[in-house]
C-alpha cells in the first residue's frame, strides 16, 4: 500500500509555514521558485544567470516586462529564514567572470536567495498606485535529493525489490557486481551487527557512485548516500537493499535493522525536506542534461525518462488558488529545460526541445490533468560557444566554436583547456520517437567547454552573460507575476 508523503502533523506544519509567509508578505507578494536538475545539469549556472540578468537588466528581448519597458530593476534582499544557507551568487559570478573563468562548484546542499523585483504593472488600476514589487525566492537543492521523493511511497521491501531489479539488469553488471557479490555472502536473517551493515552500505554507495558516473539516474536513491553532508557515517545512511525472504524477519535480525534505518531515513531526512521546502513551492524548474544522456546511449535515455516520471509524480501540482494560497501552495507551472543547448548548432535546438518533450510526456500529461502548466525549452544559461562553419569533402558543415575543458578527449585528441576549436557536433534525429522505438543511438561529438573567456559589458559597466533562450524561460517563470 503506497504511503503518504506527509502525515497530518506535516500538513499542519506546512499550513502554518504558508500562513507565516502570507503574513510577512501582506504588502509584497512572494513567488517561491524551486530549481533542481539531474546529474550535473547546471543548476548553479542557471540561478547565477537568472539573478545577474535581473540585477543588470541583461539582454533579454523575450522577457516581456523588460521588452515593454515596465521592468524597473531588482535588488538582493536578506532571506527571511536565517537557518538556510544563502546561495553564493557573488562567489559564483566571480568564478564565471574572473581573469581565468571557470564553472562554479556544483550544488551540494540546499540554499536560498531572495531578489526583490520592481516593475510597473500594465493594468491601469495597479498603475494608479505607482510601481509594484515582488519577492522572488529561489530555492536551490541537489538533484540527487529530489530523486529520494518517490521513496516516501515505498516500503523497505518494495524499494529493495526495485533497487535489486535495476542492479541485476545487463547494463548495470559492471557497476553492481561487487555489491551483489557481497550481498550474496551475507545472511539477512543473522543477528544484526554494525560491521555487516557498514560493509553493505559502503558497497551499495560505491555502486550508486559508479552508476552516476555512467549516466544512470533512476538507480541513485537514496540521494544522501552520494551527498551525505553532516549525515556521513550515521545509522540513517547505513543500510542497503536486501532480497525478499519467505521467513519472517526477527526483530533482532540484520534485515530488521536495515529496514528500521531505511524508515528512519525517510522520516528524518526525506520527509522534512519535502515538508519544509518542496511542498511550499509555487513554480519549479527541472534542468535536464539531455545531451549527456543521448551521448551515453539508448539505455541512459530510457533511464532518464524513468527518473523524470518518478520524480515529477511527487510534485504538489495544480492550479493556483488565491483564496487557499495562505494555507496551501501548489506548483502551477513547471519548466523542463534541456540545458547545454550551446553544445549543438542552433539548427538542432528545436529537435532538442522535441526530445525533451518526449522524455517528459507522461509527467507533463499528469501535471496538466492536475491543473498545472508545463513547458519544455532548450537553453543555455551561459553560452560557452559561438557558431561557424567548415568545409569538409566539398560539404559545408555547421559548427560550434569554443575551448574544450582541460582533459576532454575526442577522437584520440586530448585538449589542454586553452585551445579553441571548431567542432561539428552532429545532428539530432528529426523524430524523437526513434530514440525509443528501436533504441537508435545518437552520434554526437560531445565535449565540455570552458566558460566564455571574453565578455561584453553594458553601458553601466556590468558584465553581459550570453545565453540561448534564457529570456523565454524567465518570461514563462515570472513574467505573468509582473503583468
Q: Is the residue at 182 inside a domain?
A: yes
For residues 315 and 397, state if they share a domain: no
* 111-119: strand order across its sheet: 71-77, 111-119, 132-140, 30-38, 283-288, 333-338, 373-378
Sign of CA dihedral 214, 218, 222, 224: positive
- Provide the residue range defining the domain that includes 404: 386-437
Q: What are phi and psi of 466, to 5 degrees?
A: -70, 150
Confidence class of residue 1 from pLDDT cuts 50, 70 and 90?
very low
Q: Which residues contact 223 (CB under 8 A, 6 or more apart)?
A: 142, 143, 144, 145, 146, 147, 148
Q: Average pLDDT for residues 396-424, to the nearest whole number?
A: 93
Domain stops at, among 269, 296, 320: 269
Same domain for 331 and 391, yes or no, is no
pTM equals 0.87
pLDDT band at 39 (very low <50, low <70, confident <90, very high): low
Let me know whether 355 and 394 are in one domain.
no
**pLDDT at res. 218:** 63
Would residue 194 count as lying in a domain?
A: yes
Strands 283-288 and 395-402: unpaired
Residue 413 in domain: yes
Q: Which of 269, 304, 329 is the last residue of a domain?
A: 269
Give the lowest-confidence range in 27-41, 319-333, 397-411. 319-333
Give a yes or no: residue 341 inside a domain. yes
Is the pLDDT at 326 greater than 60? The verdict is no
Whether residues 407 and 315 fall in one domain: no
Q: Which pLDDT belongs to residue 147?
A: 80
Q: Is residue 205 part of a domain?
A: yes
Do 129 and 20 lie in one domain? The reply is yes
Identify the CATH number of the domain in which residue 103 sits: 3.40.50.300
Residue 181 sits in the same domain as residue 195: yes
392 HSE (CA, 13 A, CB side): 8
Residues 222 and 238 in one domain: yes
Partner residues linked to 138 by β-bridges = 33, 113
The C-alpha cell of 167 is what? 542492479
Distance between CA 7 and CA 11 in Å, rounded?
A: 6
Looking at 248, 269, 290, which one is the last position of a domain? 269
Q: Is residue 317 part of a domain?
A: yes
Q: Give yes or no: residues 165 and 285 share one domain.
A: no
Residue 240 lies in a domain: yes
Q: What is the mean pLDDT of residues 52-61?
A: 96
Q: CA-to-CA distance for 70 and 68, rounded, in angstroms?
A: 6
Q: Identify the H or E element spanning 397.
A: strand 395-402
Separation CA 377–CA 354 (nearest Å) = 9
Q: Are residues 84 and 100 in the same domain?
A: yes
Return the ∠ at Cα 307 (arms to 445 and 199), rounded to 5°.
Answer: 100
Residues 296 and 344 grouped into a single domain:
yes
Cα dihedral across residues 117, 122, 123, 125: positive or negative: positive
Clarify whether residues 300 and 367 are in a common domain: yes
Q: What is the dihedral of CA 103, 108, 113, 117, to 10 degrees?
A: 50
Rounded to an integer, what distance in angstroms lies between the CA atom of residue 6 and that of residue 9? 8
Q: Which of 357, 363, 350, 374 is nearest to 435 (CA)?
A: 357
Total domain count, the chain: 3
> Would the pLDDT of 61 be above 90?
yes
Decide if 450 is inside a domain. Answer: no
> Among the listed ranges 81-95, 152-166, 247-261, 307-321, which one has the minimum average pLDDT value?
307-321
- How far apart (Å, rounded) are the C-alpha atoms in residues 75 and 89? 12
Residue with grid cell 532518464, as numbered in its chain: 304
C-alpha cell at 430: 528529426
How much is the pLDDT for 149? 84
At which residue does the C-alpha cell 515582488 appear?
134
Same domain, 240 and 195: yes
pLDDT tens digits along 234-289: 899 999 999 988 788 899 999 999 999 999 999 999 988 888 877 789 999 999 99
How many CB atoms lie under 10 A from the CB of residue 426?
16
Reported as type and span, the H/E element at residue 354 is helix 349-359
Amino acid at each position: 500500500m503506497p504511503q503518504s508523503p506527509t502525515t497530518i502533523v506535516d500538513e499542519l506544519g506546512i499550513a502554518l509555514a504558508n500562513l507565516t509567509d502570507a503574513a510577512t508578505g501582506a504588502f509584497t507578494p512572494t513567488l517561491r521558485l524551486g530549481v533542481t536538475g539531474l546529474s550535473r545539469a547546471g543548476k548553479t549556472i542557471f540561478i547565477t544567470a537568472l539573478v545577474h540578468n535581473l540585477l543588470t537588466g541583461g539582454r533579454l528581448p523575450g522577457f516581456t516586462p523588460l521588452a515593454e519597458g515596465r521592468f524597473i530593476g531588482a535588488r538582493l534582499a536578506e532571506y527571511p529564514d536565517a537557518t538556510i544557507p544563502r546561495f553564493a551568487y557573488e562567489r559564483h559570478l566571480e568564478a564565471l567572470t574572473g581573469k581565468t573563468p571557470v564553472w562554479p562548484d556544483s550544488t551540494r546542499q540546499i540554499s536560498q536567495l531572495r531578489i526583490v523585483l520592481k516593475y510597473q504593472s500594465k493594468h491601469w488600476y495597479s498603475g494608479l498606485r505607482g510601481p509594484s514589487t515582488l519577492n522572488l525566492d529561489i530555492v536551490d537543492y541537489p538533484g540527487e535529493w529530489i530523486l529520494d521523493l518517490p521513496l516516501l511511497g515505498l516500503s523497505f521491501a518494495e524499494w529493495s525489490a526495485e533497487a535489486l531489479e535495476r542492479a541485476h539488469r545487463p547494463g548495470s553488471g559492471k557497476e553492481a557486481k561487487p555489491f551483489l557479490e557481497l550481498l550474496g555472502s551475507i545472511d539477512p536473517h543473522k543477528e544484526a551487527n554494525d560491521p555487516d551493515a557498514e560493509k553493505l552500505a559502503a558497497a551499495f554507495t560505491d555502486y550508486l557512485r559508479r552508476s552516476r558516473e555512467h549516466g544512470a539516474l533512476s538507480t541513485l536513491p537514496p540521494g544522501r548516500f552520494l551527498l551525505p553532508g553532516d549525515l556521513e557515517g550515521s545509522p540513517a545512511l547505513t543500510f542497503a537493499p536486501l532480497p525478499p525472504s519467505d521467513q519472517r524477519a526477527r526483530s533482532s535480525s540484520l534485515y530488521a535493522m536495515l529496514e528500521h534505518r531505511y524508515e528512519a531515513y525517510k522520516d528524518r531526512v526525506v520527509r522534512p525536506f519535502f515538508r519544509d521546502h518542496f511542498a511550499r513551492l509555487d513554480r519549479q524548474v527541472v534542468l535536464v542534461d539531455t545531451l549527456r544522456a543521448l551521448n551515453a546511449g539508448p539505455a541512459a535515455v530510457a533511464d532518464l525518462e524513468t527518473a523524470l516520471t518518478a520524480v515529477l509524480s511527487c510534485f504538489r501540482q495544480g492550479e493556483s488558488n488565491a483564496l487557499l494560497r495562505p494555507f496551501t501552495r501548489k506548483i502551477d507551472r513547471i519548466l523542463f529545460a534541456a540545458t547545454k543547448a550551446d553544445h549543438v548548432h542552433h539548427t538542432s535546438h528545436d529537435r532538442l526541445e522535441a526530445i525533451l518533450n518526449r522524455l517528459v510526456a507522461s509527467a507533463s500529461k499528469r501535471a496538466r490533468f492536475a491543473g498545472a502548466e508545463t513547458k519544455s525549452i532548450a537553453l543555455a544559461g551561459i553560452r560557452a560557444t559561438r557558431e561557424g562553419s567548415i568545409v569538409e569533402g566539398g560539404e559545408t558543415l555547421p559548427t560550434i566554436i569554443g575551448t574544450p575543458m582541460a582533459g576532454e578527449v575526442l577522437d584520440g585528441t586530448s585538449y589542454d583547456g586553452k585551445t579553441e576549436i571548431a567542432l561539428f557536433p552532429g545532428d539530432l534525429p528529426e523524430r524523437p520517437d526513434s530514440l525509443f522505438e528501436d533504441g537508435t543511438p545518437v552520434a554526437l561529438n560531445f565535449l565540455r567547454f570552458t566558460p566564455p573567456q571574453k565578455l561584453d559589458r553594458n553601458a553601466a559597466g556590468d558584465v553581459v552573460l550570453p545565453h540561448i533562450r534564457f529570456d523565454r524561460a524567465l518570461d514563462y517563470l515570472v513574467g505573468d507575476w509582473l503583468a
